[in-house]
Amino acid sequence: MTSSPTESRVIEEITALGPFFAIQTHPPGTHPSEPWQSLSRPLLEARVSDVRDRLAAGGGQPPAAVETRVAASVAHLGLAARLVSPALAAAVLHGLVLAPGLADLRWQPTLGGPTPLSLPDDAFTGGEEGSLSQLADELSSRLLDGTLRQLADAMAQFSVSRHILWGNTASAVNGAVTMITASRPEVTARTRTLTALLLERPPLRGASARTPGGTYRRRSCCLIYRAAPGRKGALCGDCALSR
């Protein structure tokens, strides 16, 4: 898998932010070779099943004790984070938009950490000077309402509500912000401004809010608490059910 010298520098800088930002590239229109795979229905089914097994084992339960939609929501959150994180970093650091079609991505079906991700090497667009509002418009229409909507459509087939799926996506955006600003504090203001603009636009509008103290809070729940015995697991810090 190769990329241009400029893209290689961008990828290196993005990847340095952490494993959720790590990306590789491949020539567009090519068939994946092992261990890479396209994101197909069988691959998603296998991922949801693996997540279900892992959640069940964590609670000392059989897999049947964990609802499929719970495993699907948790799997979706992880995949959404893998798409959002490098895209937000590329936008913040270079004004680039990463918004390939879901079918053009390549994945490795690993479990227990961020899923390896490869993008077509023509996925980088933009890079010209423009306002953060314009960049947020591009990300909203092409990434969120494009690639991320395609992922939500695929995961909705596992009986996960759209409300939860967009809440997961908004949570993934907020998580990426935390990691970017921790690694690159000099871009904190730019990152937070772009993110605020992004969360105000559809399809993420209304998926989250800020408390009076400024804390991020999603308006849905990823359902992971229901994977614990008696469905009494701990809630995530940004969960709508937290008080």
Per run of 10 residues, the mean pLDDT along the chain (length 243 residues) is 66 95 92 91 93 96 97 97 96 93 90 88 78 94 95 97 97 97 97 96 92 90 96 92 76
- What pLDDT is stored for residue 2 in this prediction? 46
* 117-120/124-126 β-pairing: unpaired
- What pLDDT is stored for residue 113 in this prediction? 80
Q: Terminus-to-terminus CA distance in the chain, angstroms? A: 47
Backbone angles phi, psi at 210, to 5 degrees: -110, 135
Question: How far apart, in whole angstroms, are the C-alpha atoms of residue 177 and residue 239?
Answer: 17
Which residue, among 229, 119, 228, 219, has the nearest Cα to 170 in the 3D structure? 219
Go through the domains of the chain in sequence order and give each one's CATH number. 5-231 (1.10.510)
- What pLDDT is stored for residue 1 in this prediction? 46
Residue 97, amino acid: V
Q: Which residue has the tokens 């010298």?
A: 5
Q: What secondary structure, in 3-state letters, does 147-201 show?
A: HHHHHHHHHHCCCCCHHHHHHHHHHHHHHHHHHHHHHCHHHHHHHHHHHHHHHCC
Count Cβ atoms below 10 Å from residue 165 Cβ, excluding itself.
27
- What pLDDT is stored for residue 127 in this prediction? 61
Measured at the CA of 147, the angle between CA 44 and CA 71, to 5 degrees, comes to 30
Backbone angles phi, psi at 106, to 5 degrees: -125, 140
Question: How far apart, in whole angstroms, are the C-alpha atoms of residue 193 and residue 177?
Answer: 10
Q: Which two tokens stand for residue 94?
A: 């270079």
Question: How far apart, in whole angstroms, are the C-alpha atoms of residue 76 and residue 87?
Answer: 17
- What pLDDT is stored for residue 195 in this prediction? 96
Surface-to-core class of residue 141, CB atoms within 10 Å of its CB (0-12 exposed, 13-18 middle, 19+ buried): middle
Question: How far apart, in whole angstroms, are the C-alpha atoms of residue 111 and residue 159?
Answer: 22
Which helix (H) or strand (E) element contains residue 120? strand 117-120
Cα dihedral across residues 186, 19, 175, 236: positive or negative: negative
